[in-house]
């Protein structure tokens, strides 16, 4: 049987001017992260993450979330599995019926030390054959696959480098979206559905309901 997963992508720029309306609707832990984060872009990432959880999983209270030893969040109800990621102006929420890890990254320059530490010999040789934009794109793509698999395990970079480089048995989906790469890993074979979420739709619906 093939599981299903939704990958919901939101652009944080849609939040501009709506912050004070959104804040009461999200879990206090995300509201606190938003208020305590000094960099505007990063603050909006936290706000969007909280809003995605509120609207798609009904998370409005801190006690609805639990965390493993490496701080991977879970639903206390256990009704679904989820994972969050953000980069640049985009925030991603992956929802599945099995364990899931997701990573999105804006295309970044190759970091040679990371290549030597994390990537296998075949991947290192592949990158050596590339130059410029093509090399940066492939590096970013590979990075997202590693991070999605680590987030699936729930360890992140807490493990040693040897454990991080070890293969993870999973079903992996990777795609390029404009200047970003996105990878999603699940423990079971999964059909992935990617949705681009328009925050204005929710905002306008909410305003209409208040007027009634």
- CA 50/CA 40 separation, integer angstroms: 16
Q: 23-30 — which CB contacts under 8 Å span 24+ positions?
A: 23/47, 25/51, 25/54, 25/60, 26/50, 26/51, 26/53, 26/54, 26/59, 26/60, 27/53, 27/54, 27/59, 27/60, 27/61, 27/62, 27/64, 27/65, 28/61, 28/62, 29/62, 29/65
And the tokens for 138?
Answer: 């492939």
In this prediction the pTM is 0.89
Each of the 212 residues of the chain gets a pLDDT tens digit; together they read 678 999 999 999 999 999 999 999 999 999 999 999 999 999 999 999 999 999 999 999 999 999 998 889 999 999 999 999 999 999 999 999 999 999 999 999 999 998 988 888 899 999 999 999 999 999 999 999 999 999 998 876 655 455 555 566 789 999 999 999 999 999 999 999 999 998 766 544 433 333 33
- In terms of phi and psi (left: phi > 0; alpha: psi -120 to 50; beta: otherwise), the region of 22 is alpha
pLDDT for 160 equals 47
- In the numeric block, the tokens 């609207």 are attached to 55
- In the numeric block, the tokens 């979330």 are attached to 65
Neighbour-count burial of 185, counting CB atoms closer than 10 A to its CB (0-12 exposed, 13-18 middle, 19+ buried): buried
The fold of the 3-211 domain, in CATH, is: Ribosomal Protein L22; Chain A (3.90.470)
Three-state DSSP class for residue 65: strand
Q: Name the residue ranges covered by the structural domains of the chain.
A: 3-211
């Amino acid at each position: 049987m093939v599981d299903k997963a939704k990958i919901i992508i939101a652009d944080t720029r849609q939040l501009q001017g709506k912050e004070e309306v959104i804040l009461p609707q999200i879990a206090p832990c995300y509201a606190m992260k938003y208020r305590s984060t000094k960099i505007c872009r990063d603050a909006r990432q936290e706000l969007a993450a909280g809003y995605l959880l509120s609207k798609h999983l009904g998370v409005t209270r801190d006690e609805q979330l639990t965390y493993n030893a490496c701080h991977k969040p879970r639903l206390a109800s256990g009704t679904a599995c989820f994972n969050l990621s953000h980069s640049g102006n985009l925030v991603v929420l992956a929802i599945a019926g099995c364990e899931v890890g997701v990573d999105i990254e804006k295309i970044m320059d190759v970091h040679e030390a990371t290549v030597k530490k994390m990537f296998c010999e075949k991947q290192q040789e592949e990158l050596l054959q590339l130059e410029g934009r093509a090399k940066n794109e492939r590096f970013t793509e590979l990075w997202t696959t590693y991070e999605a698999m680590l987030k699936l395990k729930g360890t992140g970079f807490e493990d040693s480098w040897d454990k991080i480089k070890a293969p993870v048995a999973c079903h992996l989906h990777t795609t390029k979206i404009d200047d970003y790469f996105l990878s999603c890993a699940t423990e079971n074979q999964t059909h992935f559905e990617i949705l681009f979420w328009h925050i204005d739709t929710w905002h306008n619906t909410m305003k209409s309901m208040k007027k009634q």
